[in-house]
Amino acid sequence: MQPRIRIVCPLLVCALLFTAPASRARAEEPPETAIRKVLNAQVDAWNRGDLAAFVQGYADDCVFVGNPLVRGRSAVLARYRLRYGSKEAMGRLSFSELEVRPIDSKAAIVLGRFSLQRSAEGGGPASGIFSLVFHLNRDHWEIVLDHTS
C-alpha cells in the first residue's frame, strides 16, 4: 500500500500543477487587456440599458468619489439608477483616451474620458474625465475606486 501512495501522490501533484483552470488563464492575461475588457463590458451593458450588468465591473466594497461619497456596489447601483433611471437619461456611453497604468501585478490606475450622447429630454450630452483604481481579485479585475467628474 505504501508504494502505491508514493506513486499516486506525485501524479496527483503533477495533475494539479499542470492543469490550468480558466481562472488561472484569465489572471495571466496582461492587466491592460483584462481591464479594457471590463471597461468594454461596462460600455456594452450601459448602451443596452443594463445598469445591474454595468456595475458588475465594481468590487463589492468599492468607493465612488462624488457628493456624497458612495460605498459598495449596491449603493453605486442605487446612485446610477437615481441619476440615470431611464434609457433617455442613460443615452449612449463611450470611453476615450484610456490610459491603463499598472502599479504592480494586482493593481492598476485607469485614466480616461467618458461621453454620453443623449437627447435634450434625457438631459443633453454630457462628458467628463475619470480615474479608476482596479484590483485583481483572485481571477478578475474590478474597480475598487471611481472618481468621475
- Average per-residue pLDDT for the chain: 86
Q: Is the pLDDT of residue 10 over 50?
A: no
What's the gap between Cα 136 and its chain centre?
A: 10
- Contact (CB, 8 A) for 134 and 107: yes
Q: List the beta bridge partners of residue 53.
A: none
Domains with residue ranges and CATH for the chain: 29-148 (3.10.450.50)
How far is residue 33's CA from residue 30's CA, in Å, rounded to a whole number?
Answer: 5
C-alpha cell at 44: 456594452
pLDDT tens, position by position, 108-139: 999 999 999 999 999 999 999 999 999 999 99
- The pTM (predicted TM-score) of the whole model is 0.80
Rounded Cα–Cα distance for residues 118 and 146 (Å) = 23
Three-point CA angle 83, 89, 94, nearest 5°: 100
